[in-house]
Amino acid sequence: MEYNNDNDLTASRHDILGIVDSYIEQILRIRNTLRGVSISAIVLAPLAMALSIYLLRHPSFFAVLEIENEFGLILSILLGSVIVISSVWLITGIRQYRLIGSWNKRYNEFIKEKEEMDKKVALKYGLDNENSNEQLS
């Protein structure tokens, strides 16, 4: 009876470890998507800001403001909004890119520590590394 409980407890621990490992793998997949979003923000936000600033500083823009009162006002507000939103998007993209990089570093450290612990357990209990990985899975 006690042997059966130990097996159940060991199986539960292995199931939990398997769930944690699959969760981490999913996060790694999501990380690549987030990295793509960050890079697009870093590239596209400055382009949007540059285009808006170019339009605001262009001599024809002032002619549009004089000729079309309401349209010129709305256009000015929209271009200003593009600059502000793009600035926020750029800052967010840079912060996210750095965060992903630091998470990647911590994950690699985690993998190294996990492999070292697996080796220690295998050596302590006289298991070879391949059998211990199969038993833990």
Whether the model pTM is above 0.75: no
φ/ψ of 127, rounded to 5, equals -100, 145
pLDDT digits (tens, 9 = 90+) for 9-59: 555 666 777 787 788 788 878 888 888 888 888 999 999 999 999 988 888
pLDDT at 127 over 80: no
Domain ranges of the chain: 2-136
